[in-house]
């Protein structure tokens, strides 16, 4: 591909020599002969420092934001945005051949994405998926490393979807991806705002910046589907020029509302109210968050133009998502649930859901990720102590932090609660073993934080750790010591 074709949508200050480009990358380790290397300043590394290395490995041109005194450099205003647009051009603008739907928010993105994909396919469209749990091009699945892939992988996925006959794609849009411009060059048919609570402040530094990053999605869409029950919904919808469609489970002042909500241990049902008519909806997942997730997916699909009866039926046929309020099959007289809850709000939501139906105690096993937002640790400790009968604090993904230091941060919140119902066991396997040992009839053991993940990150190493396997091994008699 000619360099001029790659840079078609990128602002270039000075003329450049047109050459053939075989590949593009922003990672010096992936440089190949004849490629374009894009220098991006990231959180930990600055690509500009690797420009000469890229040239020595055969890069034909360097895209950068400042003068590096290189003969074959091209200076752009924003290399992150340039890279996203170049990746789109490299794959032949695949996103323009798809109807794109996106979901952003602190909680609910993954479940909503799966529900929306099911709804779209029930209406006869072949749909791709990009998200935290996995990526799909039609029926073909790929493992997922990030909620939203980098610009090159994203456009590569779009291209796979087009080649496999997809007409639509549903994707999760993370705040980091939005702030880094990974979605630049993409145009969405509809975008959903689920909610926003404290998370990722290690990256965004302030809640205001986190909110601003989320809002960037709605400048790229034709229709914004907004949860008006969230306290920040007015900020999210303010000054948008696209169509705004509201949904609510608390008021009748939205375009789509949920009425007559009924809860059960493994599902929730309600009446969808739209244009004065009611439609019965059943969701095969428990809790108020399942009402919001399904309501947002329905509001998005119906406002786009899909058949309302088919949409409602698709939700009722949808199954749960791995690691989201997932009940683990056991031959015990108590229940074991795995959930991805790793923020104060998500932990509070799942615990309140369990309280709605639990006839026994709630035993919560949880921790907090290392090298991430420290300010939420004490809050999660207080939530777990307040809403659990027994809280077992352990490791999540400690990464390069000492697990004991993370637990000490969580302990401060437990102390603030005034409760004396916490145990502290650093090893997560031992913590799970303890929870299973002390569980009694009708109790619920909640393993929070890992969800779909089948690993732990200890230091720089990622080790295999599947909580489903751990539970099975422990209940089969291995390591059943208190």
Q: How confident is the model at residue 139 (pLDDT cuts 50, 70, 90)?
A: confident
pLDDT band at 477 (very low <50, low <70, confident <90, very high): confident
Asked if residue 220 lies in contact with residue 188, where contact means CB atoms within 8 angstroms, the answer is yes
* Range picked from 136-140, 264-268, 387-391 for highest mean pLDDT: 387-391
* Of the candidates 267, 263, 439, 265, the residue with the CA atom closest to the CA atom of residue 361: 439
Output the six-digit token pair for 188. 């969405």
* The pLDDT of residue 42 is above 90: no
The pLDDT tens digits for 428-443 are 999 999 999 999 999 9
Q: What is the pLDDT of residue 203?
A: 58
C-alpha 314/C-alpha 316 separation (Å) is 5
Nearest-10 Cα torsion for 378, 380, 386, 391:
-100
Other Cβ atoms less than 10 A from the Cβ of 472: the count is 14
Per-residue pLDDT for 327 more than 50?
yes
Q: What is the predicted pLDDT for the residue at 399?
A: 96
Q: Which residue has the tokens 């959930």?
A: 339
- Residue 481 pLDDT: 43
pLDDT of residue 182: 85
- Give pairs for 301-304: CB < 8 Å, separation 24+: 301/116, 301/119, 301/120, 301/123, 302/256, 302/274, 303/190, 303/223, 303/225, 303/243, 303/245, 303/255, 303/256, 304/101, 304/189, 304/190, 304/223
pLDDT at 480 over 50: no
Q: What is the mean pLDDT of residues 367-378?
A: 94
Give percent of the chain with pLDDT exceeding 70: 97
Q: What is the pLDDT of residue 293?
A: 97
- By the 10 Å C-beta count (0-12 exposed, 13-18 middle, 19+ buried), 251 is classed as exposed
Question: At residue 175, does pLDDT exceed 90?
Answer: no
**Hey, which residues does 188 pair with through a beta bridge?**
221
Q: Which residues of 301-318 are buried (b: 16+ CB within 10 A; e: fewer)?
A: bbbbebeeebbbbbbeeb
Whether the predicted pLDDT of 79 surpasses 60: yes
Which residues are 382's β-sheet partners?
A: none
How confident is the model over 249-299, as pLDDT tens digits? Answer: 999 999 999 999 999 888 999 999 999 999 999 999 999 999 999 999 999
pLDDT interval class at 185 (50, 70, 90): confident
pLDDT, tens digit, 9 for 90 and up, residues 9-20: 998 978 899 999
Query: Which pLDDT score, from 0 to 100, does residue 482 have?
Result: 42
| Residue 383 vs residue 144, higher pLDDT | 383
Query: Which residues have CB under 8 Å from 44's CB, separation 6+?
Result: none
> Which residue from 432, 452, 148, 450 is spatially nearest to 322, judged by alpha carbons?
452
Q: How sure is the predictor about 305, in pLDDT bands with cuts at 50, 70 and 90?
A: very high
Q: Given a cut of 70, is residue 346 above it in pLDDT?
A: yes
Q: For the whole model, what pTM was predicted?
A: 0.88
Q: Which of 468, 454, 425 minimizes the C-alpha distance to 338? A: 468
- Domains of the chain by start residue, with CATH: 3-90 (3.40.1390.10), 94-317 (3.40.1190.10), 326-475 (3.90.190.20)
Sign of the dihedral through C-alpha 447, 452, 458, 462: positive
196-252 per-position pLDDT tens digit: 885 545 555 688 888 888 899 999 999 999 999 999 999 999 999 999 999 999 999
């Amino acid at each position: 591909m000619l360099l001029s074709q790659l840079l078609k949508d990128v602002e270039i200050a000075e003329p450049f020599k047109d050459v053939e480009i075989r590949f593009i990358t922003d990672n010096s380790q992936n440089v190949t002969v004849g490629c374009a290397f894009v220098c991006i300043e990231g959180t930990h590394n600055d690509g500009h420092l690797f420009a000469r290395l890229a040239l020595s490995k055969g890069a034909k041109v360097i895209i950068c934001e400042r003068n590096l005194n290189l003969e074959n450099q091209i200076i752009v205003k924003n290399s992150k945005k340039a890279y996203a647009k170049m990746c789109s051009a490299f794959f032949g603008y695949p996103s323009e051949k798809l109807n794109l739907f996106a979901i952003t928010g602190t909680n609910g993105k993954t479940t909503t994405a799966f529900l929306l994909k099911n709804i779209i396919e029930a209406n006869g469209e072949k749909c791709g998926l990009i998200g935290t749990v996995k990526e799909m091009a039609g029926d073909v699945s790929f493992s997922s490393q990030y909620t939203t892939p980098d610009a090159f992988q994203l456009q590569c996925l779009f291209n796979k979807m087009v080649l496999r006959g997809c007409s639509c794609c549903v994707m999760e849009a993370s705040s980091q991806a939005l702030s880094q411009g990974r979605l630049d060059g993409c145009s969405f048919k509809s975008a959903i705002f689920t909610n926003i609570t404290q998370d990722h402040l290690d990256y965004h530094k302030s809640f205001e910046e986190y909110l601003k990053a989320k809002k960037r999605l709605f400048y790229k869409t034709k229709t914004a589907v907004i949860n008006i029950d969230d306290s920040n919904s007015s900020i999210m919808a303010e000054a948008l020029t696209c169509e705004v469609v509201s949904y609510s489970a608390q008021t009748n002042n939205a375009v789509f509302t949920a009425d007559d909500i009924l809860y059960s241990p493994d599902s929730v049902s309600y009446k969808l109210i739209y244009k004065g008519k009611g439609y019965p909806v059943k969701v095969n997942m428990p809790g108020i968050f399942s009402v919001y997730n399904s309501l947002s997916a329905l509001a998005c699909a119906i406002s786009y133009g899909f058949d309302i009866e088919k949409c409602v039926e698709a939700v009722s046929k949808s199954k749960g998502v791995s690691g989201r309020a997932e009940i683990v099959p056991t031959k015990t007289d108590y229940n074991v649930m795995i959930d991805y809850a790793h923020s104060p709000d998500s932990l509070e939501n799942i615990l309140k859901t369990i309280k709605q139906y639990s006839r026994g105690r709630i035993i919560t096993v949880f921790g907090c990720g290392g090298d991430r937002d420290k300010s939420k640790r004490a809050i999660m400790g207080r939530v777990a102590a307040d809403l659990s009968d027994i809280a077992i604090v352990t490791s999540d993904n400690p990464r390069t932090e000492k697990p004991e230091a993370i637990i000490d941060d969580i302990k401060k919140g437990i102390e603030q609660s005034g409760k004396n119902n916490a145990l502290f066991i650093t090893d997560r396997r031992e913590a799970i073993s303890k929870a299973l040992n002390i569980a009694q009839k009708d109790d619920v053991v909640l393993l929070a934080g890992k969800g779909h993940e089948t690993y732990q990150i200890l230091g720089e190493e990622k080790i295999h750790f599947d909580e489903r396997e751990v539970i099975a091994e422990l209940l089969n008699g291995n390591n059943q010591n208190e």
